[in-house]
Amino acid sequence: MAQWGGYRLMSAAGTVVWTAIAVLIANHSIPQMLLTGYVPVVRRLPVVVLDGQRLFLAVGLSTAVVFSCLIPLYKPRPRRILDTIFLAQKRVLVAMFALATLGYFNMTYRLPRATLAMTMGILLIVLPAWFVILGNQPIKGEKPAIIVGDDPAQINRAADAIESPVLGYLSPPLGINIDSDQARSPTPTVTDGGTIEMPSSDLQSLGGLSRLEQILVEHDIATVVFAFRSTDRGEFFGVLETCHAHGVEAKVLREHADSVLLSDETAGELVTIDLEPWDWQDRLLKRIFDVGFALTGLTAFAPLLGLIALAIKLDSPGPVFYRQTRTAGLGRTFDVLKFRTMLPGSESSDPVDDGENDRITRVGRLLRKSHLDELPQLWAILTGDMSVVGPRAAWTDEEALLEEEAVEWRKRWFVKPGLTGLAQINDASSTNPTEKLRYDLEYIRRQSFWLDVKIVIRQMWIALLDSVKVFIGQERHDESKAR
């Protein structure tokens, strides 16, 4: 499309121009003296100002290397702001490493160290900002929308409710026919591609879900409207994750919004799904906090981890760790590790209070009371599967039972699960899913970095008190924990 051709040209030309400007600025004597005189990391580097052929070679070489390393960013693709920034900065660092390596092996192509350092600093700021600006430029004309789903009746209602141009619809493979009275068109059939075909409808079939990402990029799709019979973990949340990755707005018919997190309560038949409850600045701050917390915890408790493992092996036969598949953000699943606290093979999806559970080992009961069985989950926080604070990740086998009692349970899937949360510090466990869900949804509505800090402080205080009671032999009156 024409607008994408302009994006390619502007992104590539901007990379060349900004790189040349950065090298020229870095080559000037005044910036170099300021850099080498006041910046601690590069202090006392020699001030070297290039001129003539050497300057021409430095500008040309730097431009060529940076231009080559940033080629993936010239491809038009909707991205979230934070993803654009990180990708551009990563590519700039690769380019600077390539320039340093090239200069190390060949003196002819060596950029002075102060020039290289200042050029890198400038480009780490300027180029990400340039790509963010280009990616957020308004496009002439109204961007189209598409419909994704397997329910013809919803597809037709969604098409009537969408105000922008509708390019067509995508659908997963369908193994059954649907009664004709459920849609305006005759009974949908299954095409060779496995998609719903509605011959008399004005909507164009765009194919199966495998084409979703291609269509989002090629047609600059602004909105995806969901028309699924059910919010199953596979197809529904797979489409949500693709929309989230590309920064595309996702909507659903209001009467089918019970299992999704809404970002607004505006009037109309279509409501917006909240794919990213956090602003990118808050999300970055939260991730920095998660990594710092996990690294600190793993380092501080490293000696204790070995002692706990030994105690578990001496107490009962079986593995040290217990692995369980739990639900992550947007319906994904991941394996969580905990210290084993129960007899091997005795797990059950039925929620049970710890005080009434005779399957827990002696060491396991102490670990649960002191919360030390949770320590291995710090690794899941470090790798990004979990956060320090968020709705507790539920066992996938247990969730079917919890959803029967709490119809809005899947709204928890829109936030990364946490080690602790508002439900945990209020002793709301899976034995009372309605109360637990109430606290989780309250956290989702109020979530902020400072709320996370308050929850962590409260949880650490609770864990400290519980640990003290364990070591002095006292029993806590309420032993139920959020599992």
pLDDT surpassing 60 at residue 174 = no
β-strand pairing of 321-327 with 333-339 = antiparallel
| Cα→Cα distances 200→166, 183, 197, 203, Å | 16, 11, 9, 9
Determine the pLDDT at residue 206.
86
Question: Rounded mean pLDDT of 73-80?
Answer: 71
Instruction: Determine contact, residues 196/205, Cβ cutoff 8 Å.
Output: yes
Token reading at 378: 């710090």
Lowest-pLDDT range, 183-197, 198-212, 282-296, 406-420? Answer: 183-197
| Spatial separation of the C-alpha atoms in residues 373 and 171, rounded to whole Å | 44
Bin 352: left if φ > 0, else alpha if -120 < ψ < 50, else beta.
beta
Maximum average pLDDT range among 14-28, 390-404, 414-428, 435-449: 14-28
SS3 content of the chain, % helix, strand, coil (to 5): 55, 10, 35
Strand partners, 61: none
By CB neighbour count within 10 A (0-12 exposed, 13-18 middle, 19+ buried), where does 255 fall? exposed
* Alpha carbon of residue 212 to chain centroid: 19
The residue ranking higher by pLDDT, 22 or 108, is 22
Determine the pLDDT at residue 314.
87
With H, G, I as helix, E, B as strand and everything else as coil, classify residue 167: strand
| Spatial separation of the C-alpha atoms in residues 438 and 232, rounded to whole Å | 22
Token reading at 415: 């936030």
Token reading at 212: 């979703």
Determine the pLDDT at residue 291.
92
- Residues with Cβ within 8 Å of 355's Cβ and at least 6 positions away in sequence, in order, are 479, 480
β-strand pairing of 223-227 with 196-197 = unpaired
| Spatial separation of the C-alpha atoms in residues 260 and 253, rounded to whole Å | 11
Determine the pLDDT at residue 163.
82
| Spatial separation of the C-alpha atoms in residues 280 and 82, rounded to whole Å | 6
Token reading at 33: 């003296």
With H, G, I as helix, E, B as strand and everything else as coil, classify residue 150: coil
Give the position of tokens 């996990």: 294
Three-point CA angle 319, 325, 327, nearest 5° = 150
DSSP alpha helix (H) spans, 182-279: 212-218, 235-246
pTM above 0.75, yes or no: no
pLDDT surpassing 80 at residue 407 = no
CATH number for region 145-272:
3.40.50
Token reading at 431: 């034995």
Determine the pLDDT at residue 479.
46
Question: Rounded mean pLDDT of 9-31?
Answer: 89
Strands (E), 283-439: 321-327, 333-339, 387-389, 418-420
Determine the pLDDT at residue 64.
93
| Spatial separation of the C-alpha atoms in residues 198 and 220, rounded to whole Å | 25
User: Domain locations in the chain?
Assistant: 2-135, 145-272, 280-471
Banded model confidence at residue 124, pLDDT cuts 50, 70, 90: very high
| Identity of the amino acid at 232 | D
β-strand pairing of 249-253 with 270-272 = antiparallel
Determine the pLDDT at residue 207.
84
With H, G, I as helix, E, B as strand and everything else as coil, classify residue 483: coil
Question: Rounded mean pLDDT of 240-247?
Answer: 80
Q: Count the Cβ atoms, other than its own, within 10 Å of residue 274.
A: 17
| Spatial separation of the C-alpha atoms in residues 125 and 173, rounded to whole Å | 45
Nearest to 114 by CA among 43, 56, 15: 43
Banded model confidence at residue 21, pLDDT cuts 50, 70, 90: very high
Three-point CA angle 39, 43, 44, nearest 5° = 155
* Phi, psi dihedral angles at 359 (to 5 degrees): -85, -10
Banded model confidence at residue 203, pLDDT cuts 50, 70, 90: confident
